[in-house]
Amino acid sequence: MEIPFVKMHGNGNDFVLIDEYGGGVIPDEMKPAFARLYSERRFGIGADGVLFLSRSDTSDIKMRLFQPDESEAEMCGNGIRCLVKYAFDAGYVEERCTVETRAGEIPVTLGYREDIFQASITMPTPAFGREDIPATGKGEYYEQISGYDVYAVNTGVPHAVIFVEELADVDIRKVAPVIRNHPTFPEGANVNFVEVVNENEIRIRTFERGIEGETYSCGTGATASAAVAHHLGYAGEPDKKYVGTKVLVATQGGLLTIYLNEETLMEGPAATVFEGSILF
């Protein structure tokens, strides 16, 4: 059969999207293997994962994300922006909507600004305590692993945050897997290396579990890194628009803006790359 798909990205974090709003296309038991096959960049379409969009009993739409290792992610900030762009363009949602994920319901405000799609996502509140992530050592969410000071925080997905002087000096392929698989993180973790640019901006590189490699951008990682940077007093400027603190996060694929207050917001773009069909 022929299966329509859309290739999309949020700051270079790219996805294959399958529209199941009108009904199931890929059986649930086949979704993990489907993601592994079509995320492959040489023998498939190539992506950091496959998004499945469907109706929801509790929210406006539902998102499921399967990764190249066949695991299902709790949520994904860049993936949500891609999902809501597609849903908005298809007429499934309006400029305010909610998305059902495994990490809970995610409210989103979205739209086009001078032909560029932008979405502001209400992220899960960053969780630092050991009730959420079992970390030990200096403070409730600190541990030293392989010579690095590692801060544990959950933003819908478990993250490790490490501050370094120069991102270019980090051998991410060597160091990150050790931290990603450390017992501190029983479910594994995305690993973010962070360089403080100035009092308003940080720069990050992220190694993602499930992809088992570095990605161009990670929305939950940007949120986690901004939250820890602000918590430690490294970055964050007052923002009158949101009556809170703003941190600019430069990823390899572009800029994300994180707002920290009673609510945590992530703002950034999403783009459609191309459409096609799979003979399956």
Q: Active site residue: 99, 218, 228, 258, which one?
A: 218
Reply yes or no on whether 218 is catalytic.
yes
Q: Residue 232: is its pLDDT beyond 90?
A: no
* CATH 3.10.310.10 in the chain, residue ranges: 2-122+268-279, 142-262
What's the pLDDT tens digit per position in 181-202?
Answer: 988 888 899 999 999 999 999 9
Q: How many CB atoms lie within 10 A of CB 70?
A: 15
Q: By mean pLDDT, which of 47-61, 89-103, 116-130 is the weakest?
A: 116-130
DSSP symbols for 94-116: -SEEEEEETTEEEEEEEEEETTE
Report residue 133's pLDDT band, with 50, 70 and 90 as the boundaries: very low
pLDDT at 144: 66
Reply yes or no on whether 97 is catalytic.
no
Give domain 2-122+268-279's CATH architecture. Roll (3.10)
Q: Active site residue: 76, 82, 176, 235, which one?
A: 76
pLDDT at 136: 40
11 Cα distance to chain centroid: 11
Give domain 142-262's CATH architecture. Roll (3.10)
Span 31-48, mean pLDDT?
A: 97
Cα(61)–Cα(20) distance, rounded to whole angstroms?
Answer: 10
pLDDT at 148: 84
| More confident: 242 or 71 | 71
